[in-house]
Structure 1
Amino acid sequence: MRKIITGPLLGCIVCMMGIFSNSCKKQDKFLDAKPNQALNVPATLADLQRLLQNEDVFNSQPDPGLGQIASDDFLVQDEVLPDLSSAERNSYLWSKEIFDASVTQSVDWNLPYQMVYYANVVLDALPGIKLTDNEKSSYQQVKATALFYRAWAFYGLVQTFAMPYDKDNAANQPGIPLRLTSDLNARPGRASIVDCYARILSDLKAAQPALPERASTPVKPSQIAVDALLARIYLAMGDYPDALTYANACLARFSTLTDYNTLNSPGTTNIDKGFLSEDIYHSCLIGYSVYNIRRDMYIDPVFYNSYDPNDLRKSKFFTILDKLPQYPRFVGSYDYMGQKYDGLAADEIYLIKAECLARAGDSTGAMEMLNTLLKYRWKTGTFTPYSASGADEALLLVLKERKKELLLRGLGWADLRRLNKEPRFAVTLRRTVAGVTYTLPPNDPRYAFPIPDIEIKLGGLTQNAR
């Protein structure tokens, strides 16, 4: 069972695999008190390794999900909205206020910072660990693993609680608090967006050399996962040359794609197989209840019908329920338990490379990457390779297929944020509920979610403009 922080980050010590005990304090007294002195302190490298092997914390639904709900990937029947939590309902309707006054915390904030806390406990403890001669290489790998997890959490937070990266303004816009110590009395303010991305990138690049090239299982980081994550981050920053560099580096060592002809239908995974062969790093979005509304969360039928009948994603990603009218429901998660996968997989990296090549004017290379991916998605012998008359047409084709391939993978919100910076791709999102139309214009301040009020109060943070 995954562990959720039950109080504000500044006022809790999370339960750590039995090594730490829960020691939540009353909010108004915590900053005047020291953490429980009876807590066991990790004393060996093995202790620290165990902390980093907690899949409940690092892989099973720890990633912010409000952006996914606010994206245009799915729709919800009107009559279901009142049954959702306030955070889900308000995110779906792009409300100015997301959290009701009675809600003092957010799992989108707490769970990533829980990851950060675990990572910082390891990083703070490492200098005091006495090593045997055989543990020196393991020491570096433990440090690298903690840096990877911290960077992963920071990136999810900055994509949720800060405005999109803009190279001209990033130095002057508030990002997130960069908690670089496990001392819960430390209260860092909000770093600038440019400093947030600089920290994320530097942590990843520092981690990469000490990680294994390939992990023994996708729930662990690797050098290949670092390349894939750097490609994703640079794409979100609009730095397409660097995104291409790391996409190339990733695909040079890992280019496996899963042939959808070999998969059971519906769905893209199966409990007997566990991880897909193209899975590089496995992680999932926070499991909001909206994803479990089988008959009332659905995919726009127009979008569903944009898939060719021979495109296996139409049957692997969706199922049609018996409710009338019949709405498609998404079942294509890369997580075999059906959680909303937002990890790193080879298909995303092919699409990053294809987009970057198109933006660089190489339409032939872009189509080669796109076609390499799509031939594994269509019924055997039915795929006709795409062609483009030029770079602009290639880019449009790639972005169209990116949306179809990466639906409900936690990437739609980041794509809206970055593409809205380009007038030719900027969109105003619209939803009509009970006869009322709600809109989200490009580059609106609501592309940064509000920080929970308790964190504003305890951390002395500035709130996002809404």
Structure 2
Amino acid sequence: MKYIYYLMVLVVFSSCSDEWLDIKPKGKIIPVKVEDYRLLMDQTLFKSGSSGFVQSYGNVLYSTDDVKIPDSGYDQNFGKTSQSVYTWAEKFYLDEEEDADWQSLYSQIYVCNVVISEVLTTEGDEQEKKQLYAEAKIQRAFAYFILTNIYGKHYNKATADLDLAVPLITVPRIEGSIPRATVAEIYKFIEDDVNEVIDLLPETSEFNHRPTTASAYALLSRVNLYKADYANALIAADKCLEINDFLYDYKALEKNAWYPNVIDLPENVFNEEVLLNKGASNRYSLIYPSEELKNLYDVDSDLRWKGMMELEWFPPFADVIYIVEYLSGREIGLSVSEVILNRAECLARVGDYNLAIDDLNLIREKRYDTDTYVPLTASNKDEALQLVKDERRRELAFKGLRWFDLKRYNANDNANISLQRTVNGDNYVLEPNSERWVYPIAVKYMIKNPEIEQNPR
């Protein structure tokens, strides 16, 4: 009788010098029944070297203009990698160091490739096998979208066939040549995978780490928005919201026992707004909101500021920090509010700006704690689009998308956005056309695999 030797450790990272990406199975693992593959896809938390399917990415947080690390805590509270990301350095990792985001996402891709390659021919219920196959394709598509937007340029129709993204691995192998695919190739791969399996998924699930029809449409909405295909992004957003358009009224939520000004959001696993549960790889890191971000909020009434940011009294953290990070964990997956904002942006861009403003107010009326809230209005398309961008920044602060949004505004809107920092008297500037909008690939992977080209720095 074949035996499953602890499925939870299917994917770990070893130090063997002849393996690409440092991904290698550990132990005697022989899944043979559909229940075994369900255990693989339901692995959610970091354990035994595997990232699970909930831990995702996080480094992009510190590259954005939403964060301003105070000099007083810069050296004491932040490691060299976070400092390098924060200042858009030429190199983020030492030659022997791993990239946690790259590791986490390719770990998930490996498990997905195992399930996709094997589950349909295994023993068990046919419907369950098809659902697992579909879940693996959605999880893989999400991972490739994030990888491409971290290590590749933003999708540009004119150059996407030439711009390099990341290695595209579609089978569960751990050795061989892995040149980088292009941005266009990976975006097409993502869309093909999602469209292939969307009808095999349930509309909703009691476990929000499992992909559903709603989360698949949410992902399609995001992908098409980033391609500037606003018509298809709008269609996908509508289909998602027909299934799930739930939003919490922040006024109705209880306050936290330890931080009486902070609203007590449900843990992400129980959060009904979450369509696909993903947590940041640095989900319990210190987050200091920038003054620029603060100025976007009505700090006296907007519970996205008033109910989530706190002046921490305990040294050396005596500053305003994003405290929800510690109470429920930072959610960076797919959510109802993101899809509503996707729809609002598409409506604004195609000229239906009054409907776009209606979507913004749909969110905002659930986020303010006073009766003095006044709905937004706009008099033209451009004004509405700017209101959408501002609301997107408020609603999705620290949720993993601001860095990608900045890249697409520069690429699609000629926004000419530059970023500036001053750290301990030293000035850092990221120009709109800088190559450093694309993250460097850890040297370790290129030493093992010379065909992986480094991004220009």
Question: TM-score, normalised to structure 2's length?
Answer: 0.89
Give the aligned partner of residue 319 of structure 1.
310
- Report the secondary structure of 2:391's partner residue: helix
Q: Does 2:320 align with 1:328?
A: yes
Identity of aligned residues (%): 27
Deviates more, 1:84-93 or 1:108-117: 84-93
Amino acid at match of 1:76: I
Q: Distance in 1 between matches of 2:375 and 2:266?
A: 32
Where does residue 437 of structure 1 map in the other structure?
Answer: 427
2:35 counterpart residue number? 46
1:130 and 1:303 map into 2 onto residues whose CA distance is 53
Contact 1:58 1:283 in 2 (8 A): no
1:84-109 CA distances to partner (integer Å, 9 max, x unpaired)? 332211000011111123x3321111
2:105 corresponding residue in structure 1 = 112
Residues 25 and 342 (structure 1 numbering): CA distance in 2 closer, same or farther, change over 3 Å? closer
Q: Say which of 107, 116, 126 aligns to 1:136.
A: 126
Structure 2 CA distance for partners of 1:130 and 1:424, relative to 1, 3 Å = closer
Question: 8 Å contact 2:418–2:430 — kept in the other structure?
Answer: yes
What residue number does 1:66 align with? Answer: 59
Is 1:80 the counterpart of 2:73? The answer is yes
Structure 1 unpaired stretches of 5+ = 1-14
Q: Does structure 1 retain, via aligned residues, the 8 Å contact 2:94–2:443?
A: no
Q: Secondary structure at the match of 2:135?
A: helix
Deviation, 1:19, is: 6.7
The whole-number CA distance in structure 2 between the counterparts of 1:320 and 1:23 is: 39
1:14-33 paired onto structure 2 within 5 Å: 17-18=7-8, 20=10, 24=14, 26-28=16-18
Query: Does residue 400 of structure 1 match 2:390?
Result: yes
Say if 1:64 and 1:160, in contact at 8 Å, map to a contact too.
no
Q: 1:66, 1:160 within 8 Å by CA — same for their partners in 2?
A: no
Is residue 73–residue 317 contact of structure 2 (8 Å, CA) maintained in 1? no
Asked if the contact 2:11–2:110 (Cα under 8 Å) also holds between the matched residues in 1, the reply is: no
Match of 1:174 among 161, 164, 169: 164
CA 1:257–1:352 in 2, change beyond 3 Å: closer, same or farther? same
Distance 1:422 1:120, change over 3 A: closer
Query: CA separation in 1, counterparts of 2:277 and 2:419?
Result: 30
Pairwise CA distance, 1:300: 2.2
How far off its partner does 1:53 sit? 0.5
Q: Report the CA distance shift for 1:160/1:306 in structure 2 as closer, same or farther (over 3 A).
A: closer
1:230-281 CA-partner distances (Å, limit 9, x unpaired): 1112222222222111111111221111100112344454467952332211
User: What SS does the aligned partner of 2:29 have?
Assistant: coil
Q: Could you tell me whether the CA contact under 8 Å between 2:108 and 2:143 is conserved in 1? A: yes
Alpha-carbon distance between aligned partners in 1 of 2:285 and 2:97, rounded to the nearest angstrom: 24
For residues 312-461 of structure 1, what are the structure 2 equivalents within 5 Å?
A: 312-322=303-313, 327-333=319-325, 337-379=327-369, 381-422=371-412, 425-459=415-449, 460-461=451-452
Aligned counterparts, 1:226-237, within 5 A: 226-237=216-227
| 1:299 partner SS | coil
Counterpart in the other structure of 1:91: 85
CA distance in 1, matches of 2:152, 2:122: 36
Structure 1 residue identity aligned to 2:135: T
2-side partners of 1:193 and 1:233: how far apart? 12
Output the CA distance in 1 between the equivalents of 2:254 and 2:135.
34
Q: Is the 8 A contact 2:102 2:147 kept in 1?
A: yes
Q: For 1:117 and 1:259, how far apart are their aligned partners in 2? A: 39
CA distance 1:225–1:22, shift in 2 (3 Å): closer
8 Å contact from structure 2 (residues 10, 26) kept in 1 = no
CA contact (8 A) 2:410 2:416 kept: yes
Whole-angstrom CA distance in 2 between matches of 1:208 and 1:238: 22
In structure 2, what is the Cα distance between the partners aligned to 1:284 and 1:130?
32
Letter in structure 1 aligned against 2:115: V
Q: Is the Cα contact below 8 Å between 2:416 and 2:432 reproduced in 1?
A: yes
- The C-alpha deviation readout for 1:387-406, integer Å capped at 9, x for no partner, is 11111111111111111111
User: What is the DSSP-based 3-state SS (H/G/I as helix, E as strand, rest coil) of the residue aligned with 2:411?
Assistant: coil
Look up the equivalent residue of 2:31 and give its one-letter code.
P
SS of the residue corresponding to residue 126 of structure 2 reads helix
Q: Name the structure 1 match of 2:275.
A: 280
Whichever residue aligns with residue 298 of structure 1, its letter is: Y
Change in 2 beyond 3 A, CA 1:58/1:23:
closer
Mark the runs of 5 or more structure 2 residues left unpaired by the alignment: 46-50, 256-260
2:90–2:436 CA contact under 8 A, matched in 1: yes
Superposed displacement of residue 36, structure 1? 8.2
> How far apart, in 1, do the equivalents of 2:80 and 2:13 lie?
28
> RMSD across aligned C-alpha pairs, in angstroms?
2.6
The whole-number CA distance in structure 2 between the counterparts of 1:139 and 1:47 is 11
> Is the 1:312–1:378 Cα contact (8 Å) retained in structure 2?
yes
8 A Cα contact 2:10 2:25, kept in partner: no
Distance 1:152 1:51, change over 3 A: same
TM-score (norm. length: structure 1): 0.87
Q: How many residues align structurally?
A: 437
Contact 2:266–2:328 at 8 Å: present in 1 too? no
Distance 1:220 1:369, change over 3 A: same
Retained in 1: the 8 A contact 2:12–2:26? Answer: no
Q: 2-side partners of 1:174 and 1:419: how far apart?
A: 20
1: distance between equivalents of 2:254 and 2:27? Answer: 51
Give the Å deviation of 1:367.
0.9
Residue 121 in structure 1 maps to residue 111 in structure 2: no
